[in-house]
Amino acid sequence: MNSTITYREAVRQAIVQAMEKDQRVFLMGEDVGHYGGGYAVSMGLLAQFGSERIIDTPLSESAFTGAGIGAALGGMRPIVEIMTVNFSLLALDQIMNNAANLLHMSGGQFNVPLVIRMATGGGKQLGAQHSHSLEGWYAHIPGLKVLTPSSVQDAHDMIVLALADPDPVLIFENAILYNKKGVLDTQALPLAIGKAKVERTGKDITLITYGISVFKALEAAETLSHEGIDIEVIDLRSLRPLDDETIMKSVAKTHRVMIVDEGWKSGSISAEIMARINEQAFYELDAPMGRVCTIEVPIPYAAHLEQAALPQADKIVAMAKKIMEKL
């Protein structure tokens, strides 16, 4: 069955379905209960499931993420909501040193089936402390899976996939996307974790991106099509694992590459992708690779400065034209 709903509603629907199906699933985090979540994803769930399964936690990310790890080790299926990605840094010790490492350090005895959701990205005038895009940082850590749903379908399906996974999964939901509408097909089989999706086929440049930037890339691709430049847009969907196969197949077709990444350029996931292409498909390239990233400043509060700092469709268009000139 198909329905047009918002990204927020797709996440909520997936959580509700999971909780109805499996009594081990519960949601915990700051303001997820009475307030309905920082971005209203869990609105109404406290009344539906009660305070033992929709748990308002103290303002201590380290404590409630650690509690989630303990619950996962004990056989539960916790969904931990961290309000915004910057707050996840307060739980980094739990995420990296415990959740990501316990399977290895126990000699394969203890899986940690933990799902951590958090809002990411700028563009909502929340200031420098609440506008980070740190998903690329977490993609550096072995033992984690890092998902970046851009569509309503993925917003729903990635909850389902994450809860079925035996290991810790981090889901980064761009805050701008919560109100975006799209079609949800509840009968469709979810596209597997680690599998990228070609959102638009093209022959001139492979444009690799994820999250909110998928829509900016598609807008830029449409603009460029009127100027005779045919862009192939790949939605990575997952930053760890990366789908090298889909990337390299596209590079072998277009022979030119651009990456759009809302993270800062230095040490970014865009740099990792460029390195992999250099290692695996260097001789397929007909021009130097290009990328559009967030300007390396703390994200400004002022709306016009914030928009100037973030990747935008016009910047993508300009970079594509620059790449095409290097023939």
Q: Which residues are catalytic?
A: 61, 130
User: Counting beta carbons within 10 angstroms of the beta carbon of residue 276, is it exposed (0 to 12), middle (13 to 18) or buried (19 or more)?
Assistant: middle
DSSP letters for 12-50: HHHHHHHHHH-TTEEEEETTSSSS--TTSTTTTHHHHH-
According to DSSP, residue 221 is labeled H
- Tallying the residues shown for the chain, one arrives at 327
Residue 74 and residue 45 in contact, taking contact as beta carbons nearer than 8 Å: no
Residue 217 and residue 238 in contact, taking contact as beta carbons nearer than 8 Å: no
Kindly list the distances between the CA atom of residue 293 and the CA atoms of 19, 150, 207, 303, in Å, as whole numbers in the listed order: 38, 17, 13, 18
According to DSSP, residue 268 is labeled -
H or E segment to which residue 164 belongs:
helix 152-164
Residue 163 and residue 115 in contact, taking contact as beta carbons nearer than 8 Å: yes
How far apart CA 275 and CA 198 sit, in angstroms, is 21
Query: CB 305: neighbour CB atoms within 10 A?
Result: 13
DSSP letters for 245-260: HHHHHHHHHH--EEEE
How far apart CA 326 and CA 182 sit, in angstroms, is 37
Cβ within 8 Å of residue 227, ≥6 positions away: 321
106: helix, strand or coil: coil
Residue 70 and residue 96 in contact, taking contact as beta carbons nearer than 8 Å: no
